[in-house]
Amino acid sequence: MARKQVTNNALHIRLRYLRNAEAVLALALPGALAWHWLRSGAAVDWALRLPPAVLVGLMLLQGAGYWHLKLISMQSRQPLPVYFRPLYRSLRTADLIALVVVTIWLAVTALRGAATTDLAWAAAILAFAVLEYVNYFGVQLMHDTGAEFHYLWRHRRLRRAALATDLARRQGGA
């Protein structure tokens, strides 16, 4: 007999929130930035601003995918799918390479005299991408619940990121 999926406990609600928020942000953030830049009337160096914006959007989509897989795993009380670890290890490497490439691109365009405004926008968005990378594959940077703040206060350190923890687990664990 198949196990009944429990879908309304607090953890499942939290995982749905994280999945949905990251999915919406993945599309809304780059779109909102592009809309703002178009409406500003100022000249925009799209080749400089778009790469970090697209990178952030792609990383947020990866986060949404992770939370979706985690939600399904928790609801079904089954381990994460067998493709999870190879996929997210590859994404971790690809993200790191992309961060390095975009950083080099910004440095080269800065040396060639790119406009300060364009560089500032690109660098700020790239910093957000770096923070997302750390938040997924290093330590948890987002703290928005009382329990998370309590953990920080009690242990005086950041917790390992959930995705990093799941990547480090042996195959077969949820």
Residue 4 is assigned to a structural domain of this protein: no
pLDDT tens, position by position, for the chain (174 residues)?
A: 455 555 678 889 989 999 999 999 999 999 999 999 999 999 999 999 999 999 999 999 999 999 999 999 999 999 999 999 999 999 999 999 999 999 999 999 999 998 999 999 999 999 999 999 999 999 876 766 666 666 777 877 777 889 999 999 865 544
Q: Residue 172 and residue 82: Cα distance in Å, rounded?
A: 8
Q: Which domain holds residue 30?
A: 10-168
List, as one string, the DSSP characters of 23-34. Answer: HHHHHHHHHHHH
Number of domains in the chain: 1
pLDDT for the residue 1: 45
Query: Quick check: is 5 in a domain?
Result: no
> Would residue 67 count as lying in a domain?
yes
Residue 1 in any domain: the answer is: no
pTM listed for this prediction: 0.86
Location of structure tokens 């990383």: 59
For 118-138, letters b (16+ CB in 10 Å) and e give: bbebbbebbebbbebbebbbe
Rounded to whole angstroms, how far apart are CA atoms 156 and 36?
39
